[in-house]
Structure 1
């Protein structure tokens, strides 16, 4: 099958579940602000996102059971949708009968991935349905800049699903861009930065407190305290938190310090910012460094700036000039997804970055739900030496 979006002068694509499934997905074009052809190292005429909708129901909408059966049939074809995700980075599904958290959960589960357990979460995500939670409940005027999900901790999901339950009339778009293209551009334009990242990695310092540090942020118990019970003494609470941290399996590459009489926990992770895509082994810039610069370093947002600190792996600061250019490249290669109610965006988190634009109106005018999943762990970049550069999944609880 050839992949195609008409307005970008490529051949249309149809995905047929085959067998007993009557549903066919066809690609369709989006405005240029919402869709673009990717640059190197992606193959020619590869668009992001690949937009899909059902094509066999005319003006009608298929029922959810039919959609789920079709998704399973496509995935049974040697992981067809997973391969499209690896190629395009992001898929958009539109025109589906997804109306609430339960529908969304059933749709996401149909892909066959393993649910991701978030350890060390820095935002508040209460569970709304099986493996479904709010995407981010930060105030509407807060910019969440482009990033891969969970780059500041050792255990990140491979796939992210977003469902647009309510869309604002102005603003609130979700950025979409390629981490593979970001690495390629950064290596060409700021090669010294890439060399430093490859050799040193990053030192990510994340602060957790018993109380919420900013609107939409998590507490220490939400991050690591799932085994804590009412009545546990201080020593027991600390031991249970530390047991969760040790599940990262990072040995000396993750360390921690308790301060403020046990009210504050500071974790330090030595992590690879350059990883490789499974199967292709292409290097990907798996990072939130541009977001760190835009949201923390380059703003007066002191509350959020004090939560996370990003340094080179040897503890030396990353020059602002590198971070500034990285943010500029990110803006040059991204599109902004304009939400319609019922949209589902699926990101390959190894390949694509996401974020959130501010919006006008009320806080509740934009409601986006998220579902995180595990897949094949990205590989170690050949230019990085040492065990700190290896990506691992957490051990079972």
Structure 2
């Protein structure tokens, strides 16, 4: 037992990491066996929770009586934050109820690389909620990493690389078909931009800092950028590793500096290794809610071969 409010007790779980004497992420449970809703607990303890998420970057709520997506939607709404619409994102998702969507719908046996949600776009959510509706028997975790820790390690080992990212930023290229496909970034351009009209898609893409090039095979080439790659967060007074790591270790993947130069493979591989070394993989339990500060923490998905259903919500 580490800290508490009237309704919550901060508990320890084996998978947590300790940075500067503080456990990451925070894990909170009911202070006593209770049937009181998490929604009511949140409303009565907002100051405590706001401090906790600001200081830790992520909070896992465990052991509360959440049974279904409607309960989760009530939890999201109880914080009072404005909804962030999922426009332009590459992952296939489906609305479930209210502000709740499926998490990435790609087959569960596929890993999803570490990323900040929608980090490639001018606007991105401030916080993310995840809810475990069906817990996998093995695997399927949503690994999380403190982004400033990765930045600090990369700055120490590859200072010139970090300096180039800070100076130039990054450019990403991806190829998208018309309709969705079952891959982690397989959302088709029609659903990505919510239109069947190519002209409208171009206009909406431009607002997201995306340039579209229509190809003869029916696909579209999306060039995204420049995007920062790293970012200084005033509210935290820290620099963070702020990007999407998919394709960093593959020279054939189109992630590069904005001057057209490829990323140095040794630095890119070190970044991916550090993300793995610093990650926390908390096995999901039915009813868990994970709240993530999108400017402090990267997340991903571990593969699994058993039933798994994790739902999500994005807020500004």
Bin of the TM-score, shorter chain as denominator length = over 0.9
TM-score, normalisation: structure 2: 0.92
Which residue, out of 236, 245, 268, partners 2:205? 245
Distance 1:260 1:120 in 2: 23
TM-score, normalisation: structure 1: 0.74
1:221 Cα shift? 1.3
Q: Label 1:283 to 1:91 Cα distance change in 2 as closer, same or farther (>3 A).
A: same
Asked if 1 retains the 8 angstrom alpha-carbon contact of 2:180 and 2:191, the reply is: no
Query: Structure 2: 5+ residue runs without aligned partners?
Result: none
1:329 Cα shift? 1.0
Asked if 1 retains the 8 angstrom alpha-carbon contact of 2:230 and 2:240, the reply is: yes
C-alpha RMSD of matched pairs (Å):
2.0
Query: Structure 1: 5+ residue runs without aligned partners?
Result: 1-5, 7-11, 17-23, 39-43, 229-236, 375-397
State the partner residue of 1:25: 8
Distance 1:261 1:353 in 2: 35
Number of residues paired by the alignment? Answer: 315
Instruction: Tell me the alpha carbon deviations over residues 10-43 of structure 1, each in whole angstroms, 9 at most, x when there is no partner.
Output: xx21124xxxxxxx11100101xx20112xxxxx
State the partner residue of 1:316: 261
State the partner residue of 2:103: 135
- The structure whose Rg is larger is 1
State the partner residue of 2:188: 219
Distance 2:52 2:217 in 1: 50
Distance 1:243 1:74 in 2: 43
Higher strand proportion (structure 1 or 2): 2
Distance 1:138 1:37 in 2: 32
Partner SS, residue 206 of structure 1: strand
State the partner residue of 1:372: 314
State the partner residue of 2:82: 114
Partner SS, residue 197 of structure 1: helix
Which residue, out of 300, 306, 310, partners 1:355? 300
State the partner residue of 1:15: 5
Distance 2:301 2:218 in 1: 33
Higher relative contact order (CA 8 A, sep 6+): 2
